[in-house]
Chains A and B, each alone.
Chain A
Amino acid sequence: MMDERRQENACLFVAGALSPLEQSAFEIELRTDVELRELVQQLQDAATAFALAEPAVAPPARLKKKILAQIEGEQNRPENFGLLTFVTYLRSAWTPWAVAGGFGLLAVAQFVQAQALREQTHSLNSAVAGLSTQIAALEKKDEFSKMRIAMLSSLLDNSPKALAVSLWDNDKQSGVLVVKGLAAAPTDKDYQLWVINDKYPAPVNAGVFSVDEQGDVRFTFKPDVPMTSVDKFAVTVERKGGVPKAEGKVALVGG
């Protein structure tokens, strides 16, 4: 028999009533819970009734023609753009300028990207005031540019304001999780970190940790298996020592 919390979350998920954060947390649960997936599927089928209850409305006929023309265009494009066309294009007198322009655009794009990264870092620092010193230590250009930064928010009722930042270095296949203000786990439990990527069927274990009296911790982690990239991070409350597959309540999530 499924517990009420999971059942309720499944209903909220299907109705579309979960916040993006809650939705991420629920999707993590879905990956490992067959029973929950079955329930979601049943509910999704039932939810189509809301749409089917509306009389169907025929869209304008021109829309169908437009869509068909568009997919027709997509199908034809690779055939029309052959090798010969490409070689001719390369030989054109404009090529050097085009290449130079391309580099210029690339430089601008990189500048904009770097600018965006700086802005992201700034807002992160303001949001997680206490973490700024530790993040600043990692802001050496070379190191920082390789890092993936993710902010995790709390889903726990007993520490709704807890925050965490995860810094992930894909080259080194390791990362650092910095947590602030997270209530201590029950004595028979540990917090367990998971890294998530769509290529893996289930969240990958990245170790267990506990927090100090202030609810803080700086935890260096290394996932159990090599990750080509990481989409999301999640922290769950699990049995002491950790579990091979996430099964506990999601405490922090973000990506």
Chain B
Amino acid sequence: MNIQLQVLGHALRGVAEEMGAALVRSAFSANIKERRDCSTALFDERGRMVAQAEHIPVHLGAMPDAVAAVMRHDPSRADVFVLNDPFAGGTHLPDITIVSRTDLGFAVTRAHHADVGGVEPGSMPAASRTLEEEGVVIPPTRLEAGTLDRLVALMRNPDERHGDFRAQLAAHRLADERIAELCARHGAARIRAAMDKLLAYSERVVRAGIGHLPDGRFEATDVLEATEGELEIRAAVTIAGDGLEVDFTGTSPQHSGNLNCPLSVTRSATYFVVRCLTDPDVPASAGAFAPVRVTAPQGSLVNARPGAAVAGGNVETSCRIVDVLFRALGRAVSVPAQGQGTMNNLTLGNEQFTYYETIGGGQGACPDGPGPSGVHVTMSNTLTTPAEALELAYPLRVRRHVLRLGSGGDGRYRGGDGVVRELEALTACRASILSERRAHRPAGAEGGGSGEAGRNLLNGRELPAKTTVDLEPGDVLRIETPGGGGFGS
């Protein structure tokens, strides 16, 4: 590849990363600032992603849909759009996406806001049945004077929401400036030509990686633990030469709870698995995703119809899609054992405060080594909120946060251990738990043992995998997260 190209690729990624760093450091929501639940990206005029600053994989394949949704509104150079509708470019409602124009295409920021309204504080209800119950649905909307005021008025803690929007918009101004500087230095035409070639390069790298996998059709299934019973995810992966196709036909229909996924989330999970198994270091771009085709029946759990509740799809179903795809590809090549397979979403709040966290667990062991303990395993990689930061800001106390020793599966390489985390309420509030792998244990690979299933407890009494409860001061929630599966016997 031409050197100028590489230099320009470097510069474009630098802009995306700088946007991300500025957003994290100046935001207000714990999810963005402490846990880095946000992503930033640059797109070309045709809506193809050319550079992304990745913090969490679930945004991987979902950003392009946001740009596509905005392009349908024929945006002018000065327009800025905001959206969160999972069926028009979004993922789940707390992830608010802003799209602006640049001299070379589009800039995008996506960040998980602490609250977007809806029936439960924190907007991650355990039992929602429609999208409206989960919060304010924002279709692609042109920002005009008063747009943001109108939106934040529908959410809890509007002042904090305003702060997060300002942080996002500042990242867009930064992108605009930096792109203009790049054009002044290198010429817009040259950069446009370079973008095309960068996309072609990423595509070549990923195609070469897929080419190393054996041809064939590989199928697998796994289940989700919905309140009303088990739901099945079924995938058939076809590898033919340097292309890969995933078909989710046979997956359960969308359900009345919130484990439904828009297709964009399903695509993200698929890209994640391809990336892990081909070239983990190839820069994320439209080119890197080009060799991968995803099909899923409309109205299924992994391609739900507009209006379906999706709070848990983005965080939980996405994990299971990864498990199913690894299991299918495990019939062709060695893959890691299953990790905890959940993000253990915990939301606490009342009308005065909202606090959301996800909790790490065991990673499944790999063909070449043990699984790490107490980490996020697939579609997330957010950090903990330090106990000291949490207690300074919220009426909560952390009672315990230790490794759940021995919870990882046995094997030639051991699965990682889960963790035990206890939170005490210091004031009356509501708690929502959205978790998985409470009944089914994360499986080992190639003869390795399963990891322990997770548990949720309130004052020692077992709670279901998905639940909303009222807490009184002194009540203690204890979450034991699953261990990862072991590898080899």
A and B held together in a complex? no
Chain B interface residues toward A at CB < 8 A: none
- Residues of A whose CB lies within 8 Å of any CB of B are none
